[in-house]
Amino acid sequence: MIEIKDLSKKFNNFTAVNNIDLVIKSGEFMGVLGPNGAGKTTTIKIITGLLKPTAGNVYINGSLMNRNNKEIKGIMGIVPQYSNLDKELTVYENLVFAAKLFRVENYRNKIDELLDFVELSDFKDRMTGNLSGGMARRLTIAKALINDPDIIILDEPTVGIDINGRRKIWDILKYLKSRNKTVLLTTHYIEEAEYLCSRVCLIDKGVIIQDSTPENLKEQLGAYTVEYFDAELKTAYKFFDSKQKALDYSAGIKSSNYTVRETTLEDVFYNYTNRKVV
C-alpha cells in the first residue's frame, strides 16, 4: 500500500534520508523509531508529499506520490509533528474548515461523530488556542480522520502528553487498528511502539537498521538480558536465547549488581543505536 523505493533526501551536503526501501502493507500498523534527527519527519514529509525527495520515489496504492496528487491525498490522514490547527478558530470550526477542504458530505454528522470519538464533544466551542496539549493532539487526530482515510500517518502523536492523555490516544489508535486502517507512526516512546505496532522499523542517521515485528527484534537479539555493572562501573548488557544461559552467565559476574530479565524493545533500540531514545 505504501511503497518507498531508494528514497534519499539531502539538505545541501547533509544526507537526512539515505537510500530507504520500505513497503507497508494494507492494514499494517508500522512504527518508526529513531533518535532525534534520525530522519523520521523528513521521510514522513516525503511520503505525504510535503517535501520532494532528492532521489527515489514513494508509491501509494501503486501510484506515484507528489504534492499535486489529489486522489492520494484523499485517502490519507496526516497528524504532523507540529500542530496544523488554527488557534484562532474553535474546535468545531477547525473541523468544519478541514471538512470543506475535503468536500465531506454531511459533514456536521461526521464532525459530531469524530468529536465524540476523540472525547472533545464538550469542548467543541472552545478556542483551539486554549486547549491543553492532549486535547489539541486529539483534535489534530480528528482533523486527520475527517475524510475517513485508509492510511493514517502520525508523526509523534503523543509527544509531551501525560500518561492519561497518551492512553486516550492509544485507544483511538487501537480502534483504527481494529478497523484495519494502515497506520504509520513515529515515536520516541518505545513502549508505545511495543504496545501498538505490528511492525517496527528502527532508523538512525537516515538509514533503516532494523525492520521486523517487536517479538522478532527481541528474539533476534536474545530473549533474555543480563544487565550488570562492568569493571568500570558502567551498565553492560548481554543477551541470551534462553533464561538458563542468562542465569549461567550471571553466576560468573563478580559484582552483586546485576539483573536477569526479559529483553525489551528498548534493549533492541539501545543495542543498535548505542544510545537511549531521548
Ligand X SMILES: Nc1ncnc2c1ncn2[C@@H]1O[C@H](COP(=O)(O)OP(=O)(O)OP(=O)(O)O)[C@@H](O)[C@H]1O
Quote the least distance from Cβ 149 to Mg ion, whole Å: 21
Binding mask 72-101 for ligand X (x = CB under 6 A): ---------x--------------------
- Contact between 185 and ligand X by CB under 6 A: the answer reads no
- Contact between 165 and ligand X by CB under 6 A: the answer reads no
Quote the least distance from Cβ 9 to ligand X, whole Å: 8
Q: Which is nearer to Mg ion, 41 or 147 (CB)?
A: 41
- Contact between 16 and ligand X by CB under 6 A: the answer reads yes
Cβ-based neighbour number of residue 223 at 10 Å: 16
Binding residue for Mg ion (CB under 5 A) from 41, 43, 128, 182? 41
Stretch that binds ligand X, among 36-44, 190-198, 224-232, 241-249 (CB under 6 A): 36-44
- Contact between 38 and ligand X by CB under 6 A: the answer reads yes
Stretch that binds ligand X, among 22-30, 40-48, 97-105, 115-123 (CB under 6 A): 40-48
Binding residue for ligand X (CB under 6 A) from 22, 30, 31, 42? 42
Residues found near Mg ion in the complex (CB under 5 A): 40-41, 81
Residues found near ligand X in the complex (CB under 6 A): 11, 14, 16, 34, 36-42, 81
